[in-house]
Amino acid sequence: MKVTPQLDLRARDEDFINLNPLQTGGRTYPETRKAVSSYVDGYSVCDWCAGDLCSITKPGVQGMLGEISEFLGMEESILTNGCREAKYIVMHTMCRPGDTIVVDGNAHYSTLVAAERAGLNVVKTGGNTKPEYKVTPQSYREAIEKAKKEAGKPPKLTVLTHVDGSYGNLADAKAVADISREYGMPLLLNTAYSSGRMPVDGKKLGADFIACSGHKSWAAGGGNIGMLSSTGEYSEKIFRKSAGFKIKPLEILGCSTRGAQTLALMASLPHVKERVKKWGEEVEKARKVAKEFGKIGIDAYGETPRNHDIIFCHSEKLYEISQTHKKKNYFLYRELKERGIMGIKAGLTKQFKISTYRLNDLQIRHVIDSFKDIMETLG
């Protein structure tokens, strides 16, 4: 039997402090792991299929989606294969090929790729420049006006990255929603890095659609999963059923996450509801790290003070060390790994991202001390 190469077991989140911003919010709980193990087989969630995934009551998928809508201050939610798939659904439903949408300058690549797949023109907001890279509501007004002028009509959709994955900036969603409404444009809020970590109330923020990443920020696991929530005005359109198969939501081809990840989300949800209440503590941790890093020659790009656990680090000093170190630019990765810390991309020294999410005080202390130690020993 030919063994597919490199199927090593993974223990990064068990054996190390993992700082990878992509992964800290998707770390599973013991209950999540139990649920995934139990529902590991293909189509396990369909034992008691009621016609479509989102209507299943045993296990309680339908009830969970109701809870999620309430939790997000929205009216209706469906499961999607991920956050990017949720964004594509909104674009594919609300726009026609050739239409224009307005997107923030810090948008994740998947927002732009989703727009490209849907055949849309994208006008990006400007002004989000070094070192804070802030996206301002005013820049949306300018981008919408620009798009209007170019196309001769208002763009079809506003997309805002609630918290971007590069700088961890928290955008003023309410202000962008107000501007969007002024132009009669619905707002899609990409909460891949916010909902599930911090409180998000779609009603208060004025979002028409909320795209969520279950495996990035809701501690879901096993496979990728997302959620798309909508408010009354657009729910019927976005969640429309197939003409031929009246119970099948068209945009998820009937059923999306037909596996263990649905149960993972379900098992993690009670934890998620609790953890967002402690968001203030998470922000404090990030601020503490940013402050301590600042003292040793690692600056944080993005807004000051920090409002999120992602920190974009910039350090000329670490780069200088790499120039003479025998491991070259891999020295930082190796030094950190020796100290039980992973998640910074191997080879990066001058600029890298970390996330302090869900680290405890001892771990935070260890991360700060480790960087200090590396800088002092090698710098």
**Hey, which residues between 39 and 68 contact a second copy (CB under 8 A)?**
39-44, 46-47, 57-60, 63-64, 67
Q: Which of 105, 206, 259, 302 binds a second copy (CB under 8 A)?
A: 259
Of the candidates 213, 291, 260, 300, the one whose C-alpha atom is nearest the C-alpha of residue 23 is 213
Least Å distance between CB 214 and a second copy? 8
Q: Which of 185, 222, 228, 231 binds a second copy (CB under 8 A)?
A: 222
Nearer CB in complex with a second copy: 266/374: 266
Of the candidates 206, 192, 123, the one whose C-alpha atom is nearest the C-alpha of residue 157 is 123
Touching a second copy, residues 13-32 (CB under 8 A): 13, 20, 22-23, 25-28, 32
Considering the rule CB under 8 A, would residue 88 count as an interface residue with a second copy?
A: yes
The gap from C-alpha 230 to its chain's centroid, in whole angstroms, comes to 18
Mark the segment that binds a second copy (CB under 8 A) among 114-122, 170-178, 287-295, 317-325: 114-122
Least Å distance between CB 368 and a second copy? 24
Mark the segment that binds a second copy (CB under 8 A) among 85-93, 165-173, 174-182, 228-236: 85-93
**Beta-bridge mates of residue 83:** none
Mark the segment that binds a second copy (CB under 8 A) among 147-155, 260-268, 347-355, 370-378: 260-268
Tell me how long the chain is: 379
Of the candidates 75, 93, 69, 61, the one whose C-alpha atom is nearest the C-alpha of residue 258 is 61
Q: Which of 117, 174, 327, 328 binds a second copy (CB under 8 A)?
A: 117
Considering the rule CB under 8 A, would residue 266 count as an interface residue with a second copy?
A: yes
Instruction: Specify the residue for token string 């028409």.
Output: 208
DSSP letter, residue 335: H
Least Å distance between CB 63 and a second copy? 6
**Beta-bridge mates of residue 76:** 230
Least Å distance between CB 121 and a second copy? 12
Q: Which of 223, 279, 292, 330 binds a second copy (CB under 8 A)?
A: 223
Nearer CB in complex with a second copy: 201/320: 201
CB 101 within 8 A of CB 122: yes
Burial class for 10, CB neighbours closer than 10 Å (0-12, 13-18, 19+): exposed
# chain residues binding a second copy, by CB under 8 A? 90
Least Å distance between CB 192 and a second copy? 11
Instruction: Specify the residue for token string 């039997």.
Output: 1
Of the candidates 350, 340, 284, the one whose C-alpha atom is nearest the C-alpha of residue 312 is 350
For 278-346, where are the alpha helices, taking DSSP H only? 279-295, 316-324, 331-338
Strands 17-18 and 187-190: unpaired
